[in-house]
Amino acid sequence: MLDVLAGHGGTLVLLDHFTPEAAPAAIRAHSPTHVLAVPTMVRMMLSRPETGRALAEGAEAALPRPVALVLGGAPLDAATAAAARRAFACPVVNLYGSADGVNCHTGLAGELPAADGPAVVAGRPDPKVADVRAAVPGGEEPLPANTVGQIIARGPMTPLGCVGAPELDARHRTPDGWVRTGDLGLLDEDGVLHVVGRLKDVVIRGGVDISPAEVERELAGHPGIADVVCVGVPDPLMGERLAACVVPRGTTAPTPAELGAYLAGRGLDRHKHPERLLALAELPLTPAGKPDRAALRRALADEAPPAAAEGPPPVTAPL
């Protein structure tokens, strides 16, 4: 990215460390044409009264209007996309990609396409930038349309390999040069990429797979939730159970029963309802600005778990 920007005479403004106060200040100071962020960063900015008030005023206090807000690094739900579009008064681009040459986005035109089932729409891959497939995990042969597999990619920006680390090449690349992303997804009959979630983040409860990204996407629309991340926690009976880590929109977090009722109303099967609930003032972030799922798992491990139960999960979990 730096080489491309320099070649076109562009400027890249980086923050030493993201905070929901520093990012709006940098946008106001530099008036960037494009703002790149993780969805969680946008939710944190909009949750600050002073930032939300400035964005809503639409006057001198408002932030400069960029050409586009480009969000990536984590699944983008429709509620966040709509709030960002209103607040920044510009198109919101959902970006899926990595430094390994993987690239796919929804473009500037239109709304974020509606997701169907557990997947998040990432857009239609441009073969001039990256060829994208859904393949059997560990393989490279493409799966039929609408079949979930491991997302792999190959294109002109794909690095030739890891210098001096053949073991990493063997783990992350196929013999034909396809990059294994570690993500699960599918390509529909129109060639649109749908991302289900991280292969390693899938929660297996009693032998049944649960996509945390699907549950996060639905809970993001709950009026009492400002931000949410779902993770799996070990369980001696079921193997794993799903936990929802939420930042309340207000002083009180929704109860587990309220979350269950909301998800049921959204059509989610009961076995996908979170069985643990952790309320936080703010989500912990990694240095890259993504939600720190490892830190959330550690926080949940420090709490006493609810009583184990067999069959469909009771939506009962202490804060």
The dihedrals phi and psi of 232, each to the nearest 5 degrees, come to -90, 140
Q: Residue 2's pLDDT is what?
A: 58
Alpha carbon 122 to chain centroid, angstroms: 11
In contact, 179 and 152? CB cutoff 8 Å: yes
With 70 as the cut, is the pLDDT of residue 248 above it?
Answer: yes
Q: Residue 113's pLDDT is what?
A: 52
Q: Taking the CA atoms of the chain, what radius of gyration do you get in angstroms? A: 20
Diameter of the chain by CA atoms? 61
Nearest to residue 96, comparing CAs of 75, 69, 118? 75
Q: How many other CB atoms are there within 10 angstroms of residue 92's CB atom?
A: 24
Alpha carbon 90 to chain centroid, angstroms: 20
Helix or strand or coil: residue 154?
Answer: strand
- Ordered structural domains, the chain, with CATH: 2-90 (no CATH), 120-197 (2.30.38.10), 202-301 (3.30.300.30)
Going through 113-166 in order, the beta strands assigned E by DSSP cover 120-123, 131-135, 149-154
In contact, 169 and 161? CB cutoff 8 Å: yes
Place of tokens 């073969």: 127
With 70 as the cut, is the pLDDT of residue 61 above it?
Answer: no
- Please tell me which residue, 128 or 54, carries the higher pLDDT value: 128
Q: Residue 164's pLDDT is what?
A: 83
With 70 as the cut, is the pLDDT of residue 314 above it?
Answer: no
Cβ contacts of residue 238 below 8 Å, gap of 6+? 205, 206, 308
Q: Residue 242's pLDDT is what?
A: 94
In contact, 274 and 231? CB cutoff 8 Å: no
Q: Give the tens place of pLDDT for each residue, 210-235.
A: 888 889 988 988 999 999 999 999 98
With 70 as the cut, is the pLDDT of residue 115 above it?
Answer: no
For residue 50, the surrounding DSSP H or E stretch is: helix 49-57
- Count of alpha carbons within 13 angstroms of residue 151, beta-carbon side: 30
Q: Residue 213's pLDDT is what?
A: 84
Q: What is the pTM of this model?
A: 0.69
Q: Give the tens place of pLDDT for each residue, 151-187.
A: 999 988 888 888 888 888 888 888 888 988 888 889 9
Q: Residue 137's pLDDT is what?
A: 83
Structure tokens at 10: 């562009």
Cβ contacts of residue 237 below 8 Å, gap of 6+? 308, 309, 310
Nearest to residue 77, comparing CAs of 111, 125, 52? 111
**Distance of alpha carbon 113 from alpha carbon 124, whole angstroms:** 11
Q: Bridge-partner residues for 57, per DSSP?
A: none
Q: Bridge-partner residues for 93, per DSSP?
A: 70
What's the one-letter identity of residue 42?
V
Structure tokens at 279: 């309320």
